[in-house]
Structure 1
């Protein structure tokens, strides 16, 4: 079971990296979209394609793989239900998933022209996954709780 555990853990880490890359980049595309829709409207269709493909082809499959690998690892006993770090990680991963879903909804609002957020608002929202990622890494590696 040792080799299987390591392969599953590697799959989990690879999936997390792919998910995080997308979750950091998509709100940045939203910044460009919000700021360029009036200034350079011919850029908007390209941004919409980039946003949709990033979400559908990279982020969502990576999020699903992250959850699948993570749940299998939990089933194998890789989660210490008695330790606070485990619960902090789980809460942050749920928060990251909620942020992912917010991104998906925001992409649709941008595509339909109903989004109301400014480029500055999107820049601020882009800090949410960074904070969650920092908390997850500290909880899992340092385990201060």
Structure 2
């Protein structure tokens, strides 16, 4: 099995990067949709329905599959012999941030469901602030992997 993982390494790494880019794009865009939904569309009417549909499709057609693919290819990389130095700190820093990113993903999914039910408990400003969470996590993840601190 480890020979197969080593042989597939360039493909696995490529697919992991593609998945991460897709996931991050959705994690950046969904809170922005929430900002505009909150500030421009309200919680009823045809504009609300359009935003709800856009948010649902982004979350279920792009964001969720990209997250799953990121995890699958990431775990395949973790199990590829010689890729992760478990005596260093960076794998644990990255893992903690990826778990936090997944938690943020689930938080966004809950907000998406609330909008679908015609409910929202946050302001546009709060969504703008929450939009910075994936940026901070991404910075720590990239620095962890590239600089290996």
TM-score by length of 1: 0.93
Could you list the per-position Cα deviations for residues 76-126 of structure 1 after superposition, in whole angstroms to 9, with x for gaps in the alignment?
A: 132222111111000000010000000000001111122110000000000
User: Across the two proteins, how many residue pairs are aligned to each other?
Assistant: 144
- Residue 11 in structure 1 maps to residue 15 in structure 2: yes
Q: Choose which of 122, 141, 148 in structure 2 pairs with 1:117.
A: 122
Shift in Å at residue 3 of structure 1?
4.6
Q: Choose which of 18, 36, 41 in structure 2 pairs with 1:37.
A: 41
Q: Which residue pairs with 1:130 in the alignment? A: 135
* Structure 2 alignment gaps of length 5 or more: none
Please give the residue correspondences for 1:37-116 in structure 2 after superposition, counting only pairs within 5 Å.
37-38=41-42, 41-77=45-81, 78-116=83-121
* Structure 1 alignment gaps of length 5 or more: none
Runs of 4 or more, structure 1, over 4 Å off, are none
TM-score by length of 2: 0.91
* Greater fraction of residues in helix: 1
SS in 2 for 1:83: coil
